[in-house]
C-alpha cells in the first residue's frame, strides 16, 4: 500500500511536468496548427533562466587571500557575491538561495519575448507548409537553441538548488497513519505539483473566462469565420504562442532543482510530451493534461520492482505500449477532436 | 561551345576512379612499409577521438586539452610536463622518432557508430597511425574493434567497463584507465571500514555494458564482505528522472544504495536520492548510505553539494602527489603544465589521455618503429613510473594497466568547484589485481596484432 501511495505521488509529480509541456504544445498546435518540435527547447531555456538568474545574483568580485594558495601555489582568489557585500551575508545569501523562485518572475518576459520572436521570425512563414516542413524547421531550431545554450553554459549539468526551506522531505506516512519514514516525499516536488496545478488552472481560466480566451477558442474552432468578423486572430495567436512559451519556460524554471539543468534536457522531454499530446488527442487541452498525469502515473508504477520482476523491461516501454493501445482503440486519442490532423 | 553531358553511368565511373585514387595513398603507404599509415615525411599524425558534442562534451574538451598538451610536450614545447618525471627517458622533445607530431580530431558524439566513422575517417583520410580518447565503454569497444581491423593502435581514453580489456579485448588496444572490477576491489575494504560488514545493498544500474560490469563487480566485492544484495534494478540509459526508482528503496529493507551510474545518470540519480531524504534516513537501525563506485570530477560538479560524504573511486586525482607524496610523482608536473595553460586543474579523463599519448610515443621510440606489432610488443608487460599513478604495469595478457586505485569521498566543505572530493585512501595495486582468466573478464581473445598491411 505504501508503495502504491508513493508511486501515485511520483506519477502526479512526473505528470505535472509532462502536462505542462504538453499543454504548451497543444496550445500552439490548437491555435496555429503548428507541430512545434522546438517546444522542448523552450522548457530547457526556462530551466536556464533559473541558472542565469542564479549566476547574476551570485556575480562576485574577487579578492586575494594571501594566507591561502590555489592549486598552482598562487594566492587564493576569494569570490564574494555583490549581493552579500551590499545586503550582508545573511540577506544576500538568502537572495541567492531563492534564485529559482525569483526566476519565475525573471523568466516570464524572457520566455514571452522568445516565443514572439520564434513565431514572428520563423514559424509564421511555415503556417501554410505541410506538417513535415514544420517538424523539420522546428526540430532544427531546437538543435540550434540547445547548441547556443551549450556554447554559453557547457555540456555538464549545472546544480541549481531549491531554497533551503524547501529542501528535505515531508513524511506523508505519519499523516496517513503509517510508520515514520515509510512514505516520504521531497518538498520541492510537492511544490512543483502545486505550481503545475496552479499554472494549468490559470491557463484554463484565462481561456474560459476572459474575452480574449473566448476569441482564441473561437479561432481554434474556426479561424476563418473569426477573421471574417474583423478580429485580428493572428495577433491573438501570436500572444498564445508567447503564452505557451511561458508555460514551457515556467515548467523548466521549477524543474531546475529536481534535475540539474543541461542543454539536452528539452530533447529528453520532447518525445514523451508528443506521446502525451497524441494520447490525449491532438489539439485537446484537457486531453493533454489528462494524458500527462495518466502517463506519469503509469510510468511510475511500471518502475516498481514488483512490476519489473513480473514484466522485465516494462519500465522502458510502458508509455509507448499505452500510446499504441490508445491509438488502436481511440485513433484520435483520449479526448481528440474530429478533423484535427486528418486532412 | 562545348556542352558536357553528365550521365548517371559516367558519374558512377568517375566516382569509382576518384575513390580508388583517394584510397591508393593509404594502400601504398601500407604496402611499402608493411603497416597501415606508415609515416613517410617528417611528421606523424595521431588521431584523437573525443566527444565534442553530446552530453560528455565537457569531458571530451578536457581530454582534447590534455592531448594538445601532450603533443606540445612531445614536440619540445611548454615545460615538458611529465616527460621530466616519466621513468623512461626516451622522449626528448623532438617528436616521435624524430618526426614532428601532428594530430587530427574526431567527434565520437558518445555514439558507437559516430565514433567508428570518425576514427575511420582519421585513419583513411588523415593517415592517423594511432587513435586515442573517448568517454564511454560502448564507444571504446567499438573503436578498439575498428582499430584492430584497420591495423592501427588504439590507446583507450576513459573507459571503465570490464569488457574493454575482458571479453572485447583486442591485441591492438591498450587501456591505461582502471576498470569496474578494480573500483569494486578498491572500494570494498573502505566500505567495510566505513559501514561494517552487516549491510543490505540496493543497486540501481545503468542498462548497458559498463553498468552491468560495474554492478557485477561491486556486488561480488560487497557480498564477499558479508553484505546482502537486496535488489538490482536496471535503469534506462536515457532516464532523466529517477524518482520512481528511488522511491521504493527505503521500503526494500536496504540500508545502502549503490548507484552504478555515470555522467548525467549519476548526477540525476544522486540528486534524486538526496531529495528523497536517503542521506538523512535510517534503516535497519543504521544510518542509510549511498555509494557511487565510479567518480568523475566533472560530473561531481553537476551534482553539487549532493556528493558530500559519498564514497567512490577514481583512476587518479590532481591532489594525490601533494597529499600522498612522491610515489605519485608526475602528478604535480602535469597539474602545473595543464593549470598554467588552461587555468584549472585537469580531470582524470585528461590525465589518462595525456599518459596514453606519452606511453604510445615512448613505446614507438623503444621499438624504433611505428609498426603496430612492434608497439604492441613494446607495451606488453611494460613497467613504468612517474606518470602520476605510482609504479604501473601494462599487462601483456590483456593490455590492462595495473596500478593503485584512489578511493575518494565528496568533500564536506569544498573551497572551489575543482576541489569537490577528498582522497580517503589509496588501494594498492596488489589488492586490485586479478587473474587474466577471471570469470568477469572471460570470453574474449586478444588475438594477434594487426599491422594492417
pLDDT tens readout for residues A161-217: 999 999 888 888 888 888 877 788 899 999 999 999 999 999 999 988 999 889 888
Instruction: Determine if residue B259 is left, alpha or beta; phi over 0 gives left, psi from -120 to 50 gives alpha, anything else beta.
Output: beta
Which of B57, B248, B276 has its CB closest to that of A304?
A: B248
Can you tell me the mean pLDDT for B263-275? 89
Instruction: Report whether pLDDT(B390) > 90.
Output: yes
Nearest to A126 by CA among A256, A8, A37: A37
pLDDT digits (tens, 9 = 90+) for A245-283: 999 999 999 999 998 999 989 988 888 888 888 898 887
CATH entry, A2-58+101-329, from 1.20.120, 1.10.3470, 1.20.1640, 1.10.260? 1.10.3470
CATH entry, B33-178+325-403, from 3.40.50.20, 3.30.460.10, 3.40.50.970, 3.40.50.2300? 3.40.50.2300
Q: Tell me whether domains B33-178+325-403 and B181-314+407-416+420-432 share a fold.
A: yes
Residue with cell 582499430: B147
Place B1 in a pLDDT band, splitting at 50, 70 and 90.
very low
Nearest to B158 by CA among B263, B87, B304: B263
Can you tell me the mean pLDDT for B188-199? 95
Question: In angstroms, rounded to a whole number, what is the distance separating the alpha carbons of residues B272 and A14?
Answer: 13
The H or E element that residue B406 is part of is: strand B405-410
The H or E element that residue B192 is part of is: helix B180-195
Which of B236, B299, B335 has its CB closest to that of A71?
A: B335
**Nine-digit cell at A117?**
520572436
* Pairwise CB contact (< 8 Å): A10 & B248: no
To the nearest whole percent, how much of chain A has pLDDT over 90? 45
* Pairwise CB contact (< 8 Å): B276 & A184: yes
Q: Which residues contact B140 (CB under 8 A, 6 or more apart)?
A: B134, B156, B157, B159, B161, B164, B175
A255 lies within 8 A of chain B by CB = no
Domain extents for chain B? Answer: 33-178+325-403, 181-314+407-416+420-432
Residue with cell 517546444: A39
B90 lies within 8 A of chain A by CB = no
Can you tell me the mean pLDDT for B231-238? 87
Which of B302, B306, B339 has its CB closest to that of A156?
A: B302
Is B181-314+407-416+420-432 CATH 3.40.50.2300?
yes
Which of B240, B243, B304 has its CB closest to that of A10?
A: B243
Can you tell me the mean pLDDT for A56-81? 89
Give the HSE-up count for residue A120: Cα atoms under 13 Å, Cβ half-sphere: 11
* Pairwise CB contact (< 8 Å): B275 & A299: no
* Pairwise CB contact (< 8 Å): A155 & B54: yes
Residue B33: what pLDDT? 67
Can you tell me the mean pLDDT for A149-162? 90
Question: In angstroms, rounded to a whole number, what is the distance separating the alpha carbons of residues B168 and B166?
Answer: 5
Instruction: Report whether pLDDT(B26) > 50.
Output: no
Residues of chain A with C-beta less than 8 angstroms from the C-beta of B244: 7, 10-11, 14, 299-300, 303-304, 315
Instruction: Report whether pLDDT(B32) > 80.
Output: no
Which of B248, B250, B252 has its CB closest to that of A181?
A: B250
- The alpha carbon of residue B248 is apart from the nearest alpha carbon of chain A, in Å, by 6
B57 lies within 8 A of chain A by CB = yes
Does residue A199 contact residue A247 with C-beta atoms inside 8 Å?
yes
Query: Average per-residue pLDDT in chain B?
Result: 90
Does residue B112 contact residue B54 with C-beta atoms inside 8 Å?
no
Q: Which residues contact B67 (CB under 8 A, 6 or more apart)?
A: B46, B48, B50, B103, B132, B133, B353, B354, B357
Residue B263: what pLDDT? 85
B135 lies within 8 A of chain A by CB = no
Instruction: Report whether pLDDT(B18) > 80.
Output: no
Residue B30: what pLDDT? 47
Residues 314-333 of A with CB under 8 A from B: 315-316
Quickly list DSSP for B51-97.
--SSTTHHHHHHHHHHHHHHHHHHTT-TT-GGGGT-S-----SS-BT
Place B13 in a pLDDT band, splitting at 50, 70 and 90.
low
Can you tell me the mean pLDDT for A208-232? 85
Does residue B367 contact residue B332 with C-beta atoms inside 8 Å?
no
Which of B58, B241, B264 has its CB closest to that of A14?
A: B241
pLDDT digits (tens, 9 = 90+) for B67-80: 999 999 999 999 99
A157 lies within 8 A of chain B by CB = yes
ipTM: 0.83
User: What pTM was estimated for this model as a whole?
Assistant: 0.85
**Residue A298: closest C-alpha in chain B:** B244
Residue A317: is it exposed, middle or buried by C-beta count within 10 angstroms (0-12/13-18/19+)? middle
Q: Three-class SS of residue A292?
A: helix
**Residue A12: closest C-alpha in chain B:** B244
Instruction: Determine if residue B253 is left, alpha or beta; phi over 0 gives left, psi from -120 to 50 gives alpha, anything else beta.
Output: left
Instruction: Report whether pLDDT(B55) > 80.
Output: no
Residue B326: is it exposed, middle or buried by C-beta count within 10 angstroms (0-12/13-18/19+)? exposed
Amino acid at each position: 500500500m505504501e508503495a502504491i501511495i508513493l508511486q501515485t505521488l511520483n506519477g502526479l509529480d512526473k505528470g505535472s511536468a509532462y502536462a505542462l509541456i504538453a499543454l504548451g504544445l497543444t496550445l500552439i498546435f490548437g491555435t496555429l496548427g503548428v507541430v512545434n518540435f522546438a517546444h522542448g527547447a523552450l522548457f530547457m531555456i526556462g530551466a536556464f533562466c533559473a541558472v542565469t538568474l542564479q549566476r547574476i545574483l551570485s556575480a562576485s568580485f574577487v579578492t586575494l587571500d594571501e594566507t591561502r594558495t590555489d592549486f598552482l601555489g598562487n594566492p587564493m582568489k576569494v569570490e564574494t557575491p555583490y549581493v552579500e557585500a551590499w545586503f550582508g551575508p545573511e540577506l544576500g545569501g538568502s537572495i541567492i538561495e531563492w534564485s529559482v523562485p525569483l526566476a519565475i518572475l525573471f523568466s516570464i518576459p524572457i520566455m514571452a519575448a522568445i516565443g514572439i520572436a520564434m513565431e514572428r521570425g520563423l514559424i509564421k512563414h511555415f503556417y501554410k507548409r505541410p506538417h513535415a516542413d514544420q517538424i523539420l524547421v522546428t526540430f532544427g531550431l531546437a538543435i540550434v537553441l540547445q547548441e547556443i545554450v551549450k556554447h554559453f553554459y557547457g555540456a555538464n549539468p549545472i546544480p541549481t538548488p531549491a531554497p533551503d526551506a524547501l529542501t528535505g522531505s515531508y513524511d506523508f506516512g505519519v499523516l496517513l497513519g503509517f510508520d515514520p519514514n515509510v512514505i516520504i516525499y521531497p518538498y520541492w516536488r510537492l511544490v512543483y505539483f502545486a505550481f503545475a496545478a496552479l499554472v494549468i488552472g490559470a491557463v484554463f481560466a484565462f481561456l474560459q473566462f476572459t474575452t480574449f480566451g473566448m476569441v482564441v477558442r473561437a479561432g481554434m474552432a474556426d479561424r476563418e469565420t473569426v477573421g471574417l468578423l474583423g478580429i485580428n486572430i493572428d495577433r491573438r495567436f501570436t500572444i498564445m504562442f508567447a503564452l505557451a512559451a511561458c508555460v514551457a519556460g515556467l515548467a523548466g524554471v521549477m524543474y531546475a532543482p529536481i534535475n540539474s539543468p543541461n542543454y539536452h534536457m528539452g530533447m529528453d522531454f520532447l518525445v514523451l510530451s508528443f506521446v502525451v499530446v497524441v494520447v490525449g488527442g491532438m489539439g485537446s487541452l484537457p486531453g493533454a493534461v489528462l494524458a500527462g498525469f495518466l502517463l506519469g502515473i503509469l510510468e511510475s508504477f511500471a518502475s516498481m520492482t514488483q512490476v519489473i520482476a513480473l514484466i522485465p523491461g516494462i519500465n522502458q516501454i510502458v508509455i509507448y505500449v499505452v500510446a499504441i493501445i490508445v491509438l488502436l482503440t481511440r485513433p484520435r486519442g483520449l479526448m481528440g477532436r474530429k478533423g484535427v490532423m486528418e486532412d | 561551345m562545348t556542352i558536357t553531358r553528365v550521365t548517371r553511368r559516367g558519374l558512377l565511373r568517375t566516382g569509382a576512379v576518384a575513390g580508388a585514387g583517394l584510397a591508393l595513398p593509404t594502400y601504398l603507404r601500407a604496402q611499402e612499409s608493411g603497416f597501415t599509415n606508415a609515416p613517410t615525411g617528417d611528421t606523424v599524425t595521431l588521431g584523437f577521438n573525443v566527444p565534442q558534442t553530446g552530453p560528455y562534451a565537457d569531458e571530451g574538451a578536457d581530454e582534447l586539452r590534455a592531448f594538445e598538451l601532450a603533443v606540445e610536450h612531445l614536440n619540445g614545447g611548454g615545460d615538458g610536463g611529465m616527460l621530466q618525471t616519466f621513468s623512461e627517458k626516451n622522449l626528448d622533445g623532438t617528436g616521435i622518432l624524430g618526426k614532428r607530431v601532428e594530430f587530427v580530431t574526431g567527434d565520437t558524439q558518445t555514439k558507437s557508430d559516430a565514433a567508428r566513422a570518425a576514427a575511420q575517417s582519421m585513419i583513411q583520410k588523415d593517415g592517423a597511425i594511432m587513435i586515442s580518447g573517448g568517454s564511454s565503454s560502448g564507444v571504446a569497444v567499438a573503436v578498439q574493434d575498428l582499430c584492430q581491423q584497420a591495423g592501427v593502435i588504439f590507446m583507450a581514453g576513459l573507459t571503465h567497463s570490464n569488457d574493454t580489456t575482458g571479453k572485447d579485448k583486442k591485441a591492438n588496444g591498450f587501456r591505461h584507465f582502471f576498470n569496474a572490477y578494480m573500483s569494486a576491489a578498491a572500494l570494498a575494504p573502505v566500505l567495510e571500514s566505513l559501514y561494517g560488514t552487516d549491510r543490505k545493498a540496493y543497486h540501481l544500474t545503468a542498462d548497458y555494458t559498463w553498468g552491468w560490469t560495474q554492478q557485477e563487480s561491486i556486488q561480488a566485492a560487497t557480498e564477499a564482505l558479508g553484505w546482502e544484495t537486496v535488489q538490482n534494478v536496471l535503469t534506462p540509459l536515457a532516464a532523466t528522472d529517477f524518482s520512481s526508482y528511488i522511491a521504493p528503496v527505503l521500503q526494500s529493507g536496504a540500508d545502502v544504495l549503490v548507484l552504478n551510474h555515470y555522467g548525467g545518470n549519476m548526477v540525476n540519480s544522486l540528486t534524486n536520492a538526496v531529495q528523497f531524504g536517503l542521506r538523512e534516513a535510517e534503516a535497519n537501525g543504521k544510518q542509510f548510505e549511498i555509494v557511487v563506485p565510479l567518480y568523475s570530477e566533472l560530473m561531481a560538479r553537476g551534482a553539487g553539494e549532493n556528493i558530500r560524504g559519498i564514497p567512490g573511486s577514481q583512476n587518479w586525482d590532481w591532489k594525490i602527489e601533494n597529499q600522498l607524496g612522491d610515489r605519485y610523482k608526475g602528478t604535480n608536473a602535469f597539474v602545473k603544465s595543464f593549470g598554467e595553460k588552461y587555468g584549472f586543474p585537469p580531470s582524470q579523463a585528461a590525465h589518462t589521455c595525456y599518459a596514453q599519448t606519452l606511453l604510445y610515443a615512448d613505446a614507438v621510440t623503444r621499438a624504433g618503429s611505428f609498426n603496430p606489432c612492434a608497439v604492441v610488443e613494446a607495451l606488453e608487460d611494460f613497467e613504468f613510473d612517474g606518470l602520476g599513478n605510482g609504479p604501473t604495469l601494462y599487462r601483456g595478457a590483456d593490455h590492462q594497466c595495473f596500478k593503485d586505485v584512489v578511493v575518494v569521498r565528496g568533500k564536506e566543505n569544498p573551497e572551489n568547484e575543482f576541489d569537490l572530493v577528498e582522497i580517503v585512501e589509496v588501494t594498492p595495486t596488489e589488492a586490485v589485481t586479478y587473474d587474466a582468466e577471471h570469470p568477469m573478464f572471460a570470453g574474449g581473445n586478444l588475438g594477434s596484432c594487426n599491422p594492417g598491411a
